[in-house]
């Protein structure tokens, strides 16, 4: 390793020790169990570190080009060693996620079969997480604030959660008094996971439905149904890209979000309803201009900045928009 490389790792260790004190104090004050500690704060140390009650998850965020260079794995192992030293943990409590080029729905694929499931608390709810077996843990920490907003907006409403993942937003909606929730996702694994999350938090009613299906195909079929259901609140956080064989057509959030949102607004939303749309595509640009929203009778508000939690320094971790009829503003 070069002298420059050692210097960056020394900076990383010093930064991590400082963040450890700050984050632990903040998390205790806010009663938060799962949170982000480090997020590429030092450009030369491109990784992310998240903390959960039973362990830490370290993501290698270096580019694929740098990942292929000699010595990269050794350097990442050194970073992991520093993390273990700073937090005084053994190898079993630090889970490493190495970057790879993803295709389709690779995030649904298992990385291992250790079965390390645990229930973690967020607010007064509990969610099933797995730190080892998947690329993601089952709970997107950057949407902690958004989930609370959805809870506060769900009282007596029918809620549609598209691309629902493990159903955390549905759990929050149900806890906020939603009269019914419907969670729709392509992955059977995550639909089963969502069911466990709902039932564990006491929402076993048939009013909380889970549908395992190709979402775009489901919407297309629903639009042909004159008696289809309309929803007071729709939340969607679609993947950036997917060419899964389970889907009828390829999905790209930048090129397809416009038609999807307009279809939801005209065919699935109640007259006084609202849509919450999120994406983690870093280069995303909303294709519908403000003037067009106004012409169509809607208002689109960018809620991104205020939706990013204090433990996230990355302002591009996601974008969030709230779309509602002008009459409901």
Instruction: Say if residue 106's pLDDT is above 80.
Output: no
Q: Decide if 129 is inside a domain.
A: no
Question: What CATH number should be reported for the domain holding residue 16?
Answer: 3.30.750.80
Query: In this structure, are 152 and 280 located in the same domain?
Result: yes
Query: In this structure, are 30 and 173 located in the same domain?
Result: no
As for how many domains the chain has, the answer is: 2
Reported as a single tens digit per residue, the pLDDT across 254-313 is 999 999 999 999 999 999 999 999 999 999 999 999 999 999 999 999 999 999 999 999
Residue range of the domain that includes 213: 140-325
Query: In this structure, are 41 and 189 located in the same domain?
Result: no
Q: What's the rounded mean pLDDT across residues 178-203?
A: 97
Instruction: Say if residue 244's pLDDT is above 80.
Output: no
The band of 19, judged by pLDDT with boundaries at 50, 70 and 90, is: very high
- 33: which DSSP letter? S
Question: What CATH number should be reported for the domain holding residue 200?
Answer: 3.40.50.150
The band of 67, judged by pLDDT with boundaries at 50, 70 and 90, is: low
Distance CA 185, CA 168 (A): 13
Instruction: Say if residue 107's pLDDT is above 50.
Output: no
Q: Which of 40, 70, 98 is the last residue of a domain?
A: 98
pLDDT value at residue 123: 96
Reported as a single tens digit per residue, the pLDDT across 126-154 is 999 999 999 899 999 999 999 999 999 99
User: Residue 6 to residues 13, 59, 71, 72, 75: CA-CA distances in angstroms?
Assistant: 11, 20, 13, 13, 9
- 142: which DSSP letter? G
Instruction: Say if residue 74's pLDDT is above 90.
Output: yes
Nearest residue to 278 (alpha-carbon basis) of 156, 169, 184 = 169
Query: In this structure, are 184 and 274 located in the same domain?
Result: yes
Query: In this structure, are 157 and 267 located in the same domain?
Result: yes
Distance CA 48, CA 136 (A): 12
Asked if residue 86 lies in contact with residue 58, where contact means CB atoms within 8 angstroms, the answer is no
Q: Decide if 51 is inside a domain.
A: yes
Phi, psi of 316 (to 5 degrees): -110, 15
Query: In this structure, are 24 and 154 located in the same domain?
Result: no
What are the residues facing 62 on neighbouring strands?
none
pTM: 0.93
Reported as a single tens digit per residue, the pLDDT across 32-66 is 999 999 999 999 999 999 999 999 999 999 876 66
Q: Decide if 262 is inside a domain.
A: yes
Q: Decide if 161 is inside a domain.
A: yes
Q: Decide if 286 is inside a domain.
A: yes
Phi, psi of 66 (to 5 degrees): -70, -30
Asked if residue 234 lies in contact with residue 162, where contact means CB atoms within 8 angstroms, the answer is yes
pLDDT value at residue 3: 41
Query: In this structure, are 150 and 278 located in the same domain?
Result: yes
Q: Which of 40, 64, 98 is the last residue of a domain?
A: 98
Distance CA 307, CA 29 (A): 19
pLDDT value at residue 112: 55
Q: Decide if 288 is inside a domain.
A: yes
Distance CA 256, CA 259 (A): 6
Query: In this structure, are 160 and 15 located in the same domain?
Result: no
Q: Count other Cβ atoms within 10 Å, centred on residue 25.
A: 10
**Encoded tokens for 235:** 């939340």
Query: In this structure, are 165 and 257 located in the same domain?
Result: yes
pLDDT value at residue 315: 94
């Amino acid at each position: 390793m070069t002298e420059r490389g050692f210097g960056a790792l020394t900076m990383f260790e010093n930064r991590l020790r400082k963040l450890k004190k700050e984050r632990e104090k903040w998390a205790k004050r806010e009663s938060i169990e799962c949170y982000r500690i480090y997020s590429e704060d030092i450009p030369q140390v491109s990784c992310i570190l998240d903390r959960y009650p039973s362990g830490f998850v370290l993501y290698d965020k270096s580019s694929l080009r740098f990942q292929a260079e000699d010595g990269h794995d050794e350097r990442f192992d050194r970073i992991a060693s520093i993390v273990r030293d700073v937090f005084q943990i053994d190898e079993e409590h630090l889970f490493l996620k190495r970057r790879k080029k993803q295709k389709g729905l690779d995030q649904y694929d298992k990385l291992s079969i250790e079965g390390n499931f645990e229930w973690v608390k967020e607010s007064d709810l509990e969610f099933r997480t797995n730190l080892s077996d998947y690329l993601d843990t089952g709970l997107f920490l950057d949407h902690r604030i958004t989930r609370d907003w959805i809870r506060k907006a769900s009282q007596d409403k029918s809620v549609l959660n598209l691309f629902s993942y493990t159903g955390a937003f549905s759990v929050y909606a149900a806890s906020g008094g939603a009269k019914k929730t419907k969670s729709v996702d392509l992955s059977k694994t995550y639909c089963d996971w969502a069911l466990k999350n709902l039932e564990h938090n006491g929402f076993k009613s048939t009013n909380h439905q889970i549908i395992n299906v190709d979402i775009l195909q489901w919407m297309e079929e629903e639009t042909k149904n004159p008696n289809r259901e309309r929803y007071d609140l729709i939340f969607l956080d679609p993947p950036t890209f997917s060419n899964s064989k389970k889907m009828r057509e390829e999905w790209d959030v930048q090129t397809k979000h416009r038609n999807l949102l307009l279809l939801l607004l005209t065919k699935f939303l109640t007259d006084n309803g609202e849509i919450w749309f999120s994406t983690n595509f870093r280069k995303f640009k909303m294709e519908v201009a403000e003037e067009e929203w106004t012409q169509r009778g809607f208002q689109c508000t960018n809620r991104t900045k205020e939706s990013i939690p204090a433990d996230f320094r990355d302002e591009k971790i996601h974008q969030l928009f709230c779309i509602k009829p002008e009459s409901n503003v």
